[in-house]
């Protein structure tokens, strides 16, 4: 089978708590829909020793750091089954501030780091974890996390100012420079104003979620974008890296078996055999011919059903994304409220669909899955 190069897709997002089963389901479904290979999570708020499960068939492997202080902090690295990284070592912080994972793929070593900095004295924690990472890392290093400060107050905040002391900002830049780390999004969007989270008390947007690559590996960066806000109060950051992976040029189609529950579709399938069964057509030819015809029909019906099932979600995402860009120039109070309203509508749509996707779900059920 012919193959083509395949990039590594990394998603970064601050979850703001994943103890609710519905929210975990929404998160995993979102990661599947974006075809993420690696997911870097912050603020999972899992309690050490009592963490619920966060995995499914698409993301069977995860490495979690849960704080011993309770349901605070927490960083995770999830690996997709389509990303065959051979993990060689991990390093987990007992305070839930970082999760380091390293391994090899196609003869190339990779290190992924999910970090979460406090909202005070960020530079001190950053220096400490970067020193720890320097002793741990191998190969290509990608760091992603919520650093809880804007690296450039003028461009990374909607108001153009920040309450973070200048000395903290300066020393944070110094720590990044000493390890030759480059802010990937700013490197590809040098003058763009875009943000990853909204603060209702301050009625302002900020870009606090960042991904970093060492300068020597910056040539591997293909793209980095800020996605629409969906199930979390932070926007995801989505990055693609050049890699030794390959993919088939032609995708394999799989039958959506739920379509067979539709009486009209079953009737159409039966009608095909009724109309095409003749005395001069052998059963073998009829059977082989039906595969192409029925596959095309089922693909069409699956697409129609999907559009009917999720019309609101398809419209809510783009609207919210555009609303989130309003404050980049001059943001008014109504614009900010509109962005929050779009986020709530999106979350409501996603929550409504959760029970339909979880056969074992019933209201009030708190089962960890």
User: Which of 120, 129, 139 shows the shortest CA–CA distance to 92?
Assistant: 129
* Residue 148 counted as an annotated binding residue: yes
Q: Judge whether 272 counts as a catalytic residue.
A: no
244 φ, ψ (degrees, to nearest 5): -80, 5
Rounded Cα–Cα distance for residues 128 and 124 (Å): 6
CA distance 210 to 222: 16
Task: Give the CA count within 13 Å in the CB-facing half-sphere of 36.
Answer: 27
235 catalytic residue (yes or no): no
Q: Has 209 been labeled as part of a binding site?
A: no
Catalytic site residue from 146, 156, 183, 209: 146
**Whole-angstrom distance, CA of residue 36 vs CA of residue 34:** 5
Asked about 110 being catalytic, the answer comes back as no
d(CA 73, CA 208): 15
Provide the token pair at 197.
């989270």
CB 225 within 8 A of CB 211: no
DSSP secondary structure string, 127-153? HHHHHHHHHH--SEEEEEEE-SS-SSH
Which of 98, 110, 116, 198 is the catalytic position? 116
As a whole number of angstroms, the distance between CA 331 and CA 346 comes to 21
How many CB atoms neighbour CB 115 within 10 A?
A: 25
> Does the annotation flag 252 for ligand binding?
no
* Alpha-helical segments (H) within the chain: 21-33, 122-136, 153-156, 166-178, 184-188, 263-276, 283-309, 311-325, 333-357
Strands 140-146, 108-116: pairing is: parallel
25, 123, 179, 234: the catalytic one is 234
Q: Residues at the annotated binding site?
A: 14, 43, 146, 148, 233-234
Enzyme catalytic residues: 116, 146, 234
Binding residues for Mg(2+): 14, 43, 146, 148, 233-234
């Amino acid at each position: 089978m012919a193959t083509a190069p395949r990039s590594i897709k990394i998603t970064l997002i601050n979850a703001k708590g994943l103890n609710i089963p519905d929210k975990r389901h929404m998160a995993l479904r979102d990661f599947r829909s974006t075809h993420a290979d690696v997911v870097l999570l912050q603020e999972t708020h899992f309690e050490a020793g009592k963490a619920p499960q966060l995995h499914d068939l698409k993301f069977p492997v995860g490495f979690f750091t849960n704080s011993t202080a309770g349901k605070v902090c927490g960083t995770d690295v999830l690996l997709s089954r389509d990303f065959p990284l051979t993990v060689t070592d991990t390093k987990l912080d007992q305070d839930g501030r970082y999760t380091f994972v390293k391994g090899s793929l196609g003869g190339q070593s990779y290190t992924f780091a999910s970090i979460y900095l406090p909202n005070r004295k960020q530079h001190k924690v950053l220096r400490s974890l970067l020193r720890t990472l320097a002793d741990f890392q191998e190969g290509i290093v990608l760091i992603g996390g919520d650093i809880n400060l804007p690296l450039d107050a003028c461009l990374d905040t909607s108001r153009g100012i920040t309450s973070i002391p200048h000395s903290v900002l300066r020393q944070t830049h110094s720590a990044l420079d000493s390890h030759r780390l480059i802010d990937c999004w700013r490197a590809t969007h040098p003058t763009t104003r875009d943000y990853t989270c909204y603060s209702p008390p301050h009625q302002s947007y900020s870009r606090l979620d960042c991904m970093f690559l060492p300068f020597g590996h910056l040539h591997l960066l293909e793209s980095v974008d800020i996605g629409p806000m969906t199930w979390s109060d932070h926007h995801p950051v989505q990055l693609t890296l050049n890699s030794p992976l390959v993919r088939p040029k032609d995708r394999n189609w799989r039958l959506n078996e739920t379509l067979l529950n539709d009486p009209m579709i079953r009737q159409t399938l039966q009608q095909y055999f009724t109309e095409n069964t003749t005395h001069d057509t052998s059963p073998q030819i009829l059977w082989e011919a039906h595969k192409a015809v029925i596959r095309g029909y089922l693909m069409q019906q699956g697409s129609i059903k999907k559009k009917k099932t999720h019309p609101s979600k398809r419209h809510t995402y783009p609207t919210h994304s555009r609303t989130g860009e309003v404050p980049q120039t001059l943001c008014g109070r109504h614009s900010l409220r509109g962005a929050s309203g779009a986020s709530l509508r999106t979350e409501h749509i996603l929550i409504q669909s959760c029970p339909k996707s979880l056969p074992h779900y019933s209201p009030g059920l708190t089962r960890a899955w």
